[in-house]
């Protein structure tokens, strides 16, 4: 029994030792890893925080009144697929300005793939086209629309 207890104790000591060594190694790795990313980290710096401000956190994908604020796109099913695939090369304004049916949105994607280096959208294509057709369908305008949004003002001479 005595011998067994002694053995148990020494195993515990070794275990503790190992834990210590590994955690130390871990910390050193972390420091070295960070130094690799930011070499200035290891040089001494005076901590002057008086000229620093805390930057307010802004949600990149904030939605307000049903609109994705950063891009102006309508918040609906497929929004993020559109943001991630369609706003790298051109502005989202090119989408929000336009109104097309399924066939023509598809033709537009096809044209971008053939001539503008747009990648294969895979299964996202259906999601994106559905989003566009649902949220940006053609509007009937006829041969001439009436004047709208007139801001009335008194004409001064």
Partner 1 sequence: MKRRQFIKKTTLSSLTALIGTEIVFGEIMPLGYEPLALQDPNPFKMFNKSKEMVVLNNMPWNIEAKAHLLDEKITSNEYMFIRNNGKIPKHVDAKNWAVTFDGESVKKPKTFTLQELKTKFKHYTYQLTLECGGNGRSEFDPPAKGNQWTVGAVSCATWTGVRLRDVLKAIGIKNDAVYIGYHAADTHLSGDPKKEAISRGVPMTKAYQDETLLAFKMNGKDIPLVHGYPLRLVAGGWPASASGKWIKGISVRNKVHDGNKMTGKAYRVPCNPVAPGEKVKDEQMCIIESMPVKSLITYPKSGAMLALGEKLKIRGHAWAGELEVSQMEYSIDFGCTWNNCSIEKPANRLAWQHFSASISFPKKGYYEIWARATDSKGISQPMVLPCWNPKGYLNNACHRIAIKVK
- Contact between 40 and partner 1 by CB under 8 A: the answer reads no
Considering beta carbons, is residue 15 or 93 the nearer one to partner 1? 93
The DSSP symbol for 156 reads P
44 interacts with partner 1 by CB under 8 A: no
Q: Does 53 bind partner 1 (CB under 8 A)?
A: yes
Region 71-100 residues binding partner 1, contact defined as CB under 8 A: 89-91, 93-94, 97-100
Cα→Cα distances 97→29, 42, 54, 62, 131, Å = 51, 51, 37, 21, 15
Count Cβ atoms below 10 Å from residue 87 Cβ, excluding itself: 16
Q: Tell me which residues in 120-149 interact with partner 1 (CB under 8 A).
A: 138-145, 147
Choice from 1, 37, 44, 120 touching partner 1 (CB under 8 A): 37
Torsion, CA 22, CA 24, CA 29, CA 31, rounded to 10: 160
Contact predicate 97/90, CB 8 Å: no
Q: Is 102 in the site for partner 1 (CB under 8 A)?
A: no
Judged by beta carbon, residue 10 or residue 29, the one nearer partner 1 is 29
In whole angstroms, how far apart are CA 32 and each of 40, 41, 152?
A: 12, 10, 67
- Determine which residue in the list 5, 64, 120, 151 makes contact with partner 1, applying CB under 8 A: 151
Residue 71, token pair as written in the block? 């891009």
Would you tell me which residues interact with partner 1 (CB under 8 A)? Answer: 26, 30, 33-34, 37-38, 49, 51-58, 89-91, 93-94, 97-101, 104, 108, 116-117, 138-145, 147, 150-155
């Amino acid at each position: 029994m005595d011998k067994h207890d002694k053995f148990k104790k020494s195993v515990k000591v070794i275990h503790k030792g190992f834990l210590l060594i590994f955690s130390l190694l871990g910390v050193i790795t972390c420091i070295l890893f960070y130094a690799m990313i930011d070499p200035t980290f290891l040089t001494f710096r005076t901590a002057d925080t008086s000229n620093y401000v805390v930057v307010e956190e802004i949600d990149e994908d904030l939605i307000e009144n049903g609109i994705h604020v950063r891009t102006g796109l309508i918040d609906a099913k497929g929004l993020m697929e559109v943001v991630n695939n369609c706003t790298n090369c051109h502005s989202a304004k090119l989408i929000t300005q336009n109104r097309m049916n399924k066939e023509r949105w598809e033709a537009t994607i096809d044209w971008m793939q053939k001539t503008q280096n747009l990648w294969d959208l895979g299964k996202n294509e259906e999601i994106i086209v559905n989003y566009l057709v649902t949220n940006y369908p053609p509007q009937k305008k006829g041969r001439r629309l009436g004047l709208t949004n007139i801001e009335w003002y008194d004409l001064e001479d």
